[in-house]
Amino acid sequence: MAVETAIAADHLHADPALWIARRPDHLLRAEAVRLAAEGPRGRPLWGTVFAVKDNIDVAGLATTAACPAYAFRPEASAPAVARLVEAGALVMGKTNLDQFATGLVGTRSPHGTPRNLFSPAHVPGGSSSGSAVAVGAGIVRFALGTDTAGSGRVPAAFANIVGLKPTRGLIPTAGVVPACRSLDTVSIFAASVDEALAVARIAAGGASCLARAALPPTWRLAVAAVAPLCAPEVARACEAAAAVAPETITIDATALLEIARLLYDGPWVAERTAALREFLARAPVTIHSTTRAILEAGHARTAVDAFAAFHRLAEVRTEVAAMFAGCDALLLPTAPFCPTLAEDAADPFGHNRRLGTFTNFCNLLDLAAFAVPAGFGADGLPVGVMLLGPARSEATLAPIADFLHRRLATTIGATGLPLPPAASPDTLAPGEIALFCLGAHMAGLALNGELRLLGARFLRPARTAPCYRLFDLGDRPGLLRDGAGAAIAGELWALPRDSLGALLSPSASPIGLGAIALDSGPAVGFLVEAAAVASAPEITALGGWRARLAQR
């Protein structure tokens, strides 16, 4: 029984700083008995035990955000929690965190510091310290955290587990104590990429953009020169991750690092202050000294600072969109190093700031990100890497992140257990259509970035029914239906139905969208008018456009 396993693992781990509120064993067992009596009833998480960061509301448990004086008892659970419970999952308790989710170290709590699973001398990472440790210790199968500056990714790296930072707004933040309200996301900690994605999809109310894609036949990672900013073992892990990619491109990360610094030096510090302004004025002495210093600093930010930062952010967003048109994901370290508790105590601001080097810009630019384990350093500490993509790219990031995870690491957290089997790609989700691609929209070709930015995800290689002819129109293929034709190779992608118009608009006559018969069923794809191929070379015998490109 999952509950008995969770209880036994928690007692064995015996960390008094892990939980802020832990449901008693007898109540957990009683709820497990009730669930067992009900049966699965189609609930995908039936009987699964999970933990919730204590800045997210759970009915029946106080929400404290690690500040006892702030505590209140919510009448209802946050929507994310409620959806997971409706799916059959069972809340074990509320986990410790950096107070008010302000920190990346995991040490800023009056309830103590959860133990780093691999070295008691090092920080566990924060702010979602308890949630990450609970998964990495094998106590719960998954946990909810929050991520505003990397709080759902840095502790995942230090616990040797997966952390998913989803697109802003995909999982509701109602029922979450705000840190920076415009940047906050509910994050997922899990043993594998597939489990994190599946939990996120439920927490997001079944969002079709969280359906899993397949690994494309080719993919490209953007990488940056990060070695000077990292510990040697972290730089080596990033190099190892890049080495398994079919192709990489090198980018200049200067603008990204500039945006990352804005999170602490710019107006978003004032947004943290605004969220807790009344409590800060009423009960300042109840707030952790480091957290209070950060909140008080927000009063010095000006509207001029804000507009200057907003304008620069808009410029960099345009640059980043162009970058993602040319790659499938951006690869970066999750954290540049793991400080010791002594180092953090000696410099609580500097080391915390450095931990956000590669995570801080993600929320400001509204990117999706998976943090995955990437092995261990010579010191025995785990290191991690991130894959980042544009908003709502979780489905296409997932197969690449899972591929890297399985190539670079083999066990879950500190449990020594092997990773669960990889999941199969999801079939068409509600709101998606099957799109057959046979030209520049295919993986690795010139227009594939545009397709991915429209929310498309790769499903599988595909072939038409044997009733088409293929022509070379110079810069693109022309597919013509003809009863005397042959089967033509291409790729099947799932495209959000509301993106179909955007895909069509750049197309010029004589190419247009139409129904295409595949050997496995119908799809939509590009067809050519018969009159346009009268003088074009026929390449049907080659069987597909990639074969034609190979001849050039």
Tens digit of each residue's pLDDT (9 = 90 or more) over 182-241: 999 999 999 999 999 999 999 999 988 899 999 999 999 999 999 999 999 999 999 999
Q: What is the pLDDT of residue 484?
A: 86
Nearest residue to 160 via CA among 368, 385, 341: 385
Per-residue pLDDT, averaged over 542-549, amounts to 97
Per-residue pLDDT, averaged over 275-302, amounts to 96
* Cβ pair 508, 451 in contact under 8 A: no
| 506 pLDDT tier (thresholds 50, 70, 90) | low
Q: For residue 421, report the phi and psi dihedrals to the nearest 5 degrees.
A: -60, 150
Nearest residue to 231 via CA among 102, 335, 134: 335
Per the prediction, the chain carries an average pLDDT of: 96
Catalytic (active site) residue 165: no
CA distance 52 to 91: 7
Q: Is residue 507 pLDDT above 60, yes or no?
A: no
| 510 pLDDT tier (thresholds 50, 70, 90) | confident
DSSP per residue over 350-409, as a string? Answer: HHHHHHTTTTHHHHHTT-EEEEEEEEE-TTS-EEEEEEEESTT-HHHHHHHHHHHHHHH-
Per-residue pLDDT, averaged over 469-497, amounts to 95
| 483 pLDDT tier (thresholds 50, 70, 90) | confident
| 448 pLDDT tier (thresholds 50, 70, 90) | very high
The SS3 assignment for 108 reads coil
| 264 pLDDT tier (thresholds 50, 70, 90) | confident
Range of weakest confidence among 97-106, 161-170, 260-269, 333-342: 260-269
Q: Is residue 12 pLDDT above 90, yes or no?
A: yes
| 340 pLDDT tier (thresholds 50, 70, 90) | very high
Which residues does residue 252 pair with via DSSP β-bridges, in sequence order? none
Per-residue pLDDT, averaged over 442-465, amounts to 96
Catalytic (active site) residue 94: no
CA distance 280 to 487: 69
Q: Which of 77, 109, 127, 499 is catalytic?
A: 127
| 552 pLDDT tier (thresholds 50, 70, 90) | confident
Q: What percent of the chain has pLDDT over 70?
A: 99
Per-residue pLDDT, averaged over 415-431, amounts to 94
What structural domains does the chain harbor?
A: 2-418 (3.90.1300.10), 432-551 (3.10.490.10)
What order do you get walking across the sheet with 329-333 strand by strand? 19-22, 90-95, 49-53, 142-147, 185-190, 162-165, 368-376, 382-389, 329-333, 220-223, 247-250
Q: What is the pLDDT of residue 1?
A: 62
Pairing of strands 457-463, 162-165: unpaired
CA distance 387 to 389: 7
Q: Which of 128, 151, 192, 393 is catalytic?
A: 151
Report CA-CA distances (Å) from 495 to 391, 433, 456, 457, 499: 15, 5, 4, 7, 7
Catalytic (active site) residue 127: yes
Q: Is residue 360 pLDDT above 60, yes or no?
A: yes
Strands (E), 89-181: 90-95, 142-147, 162-165
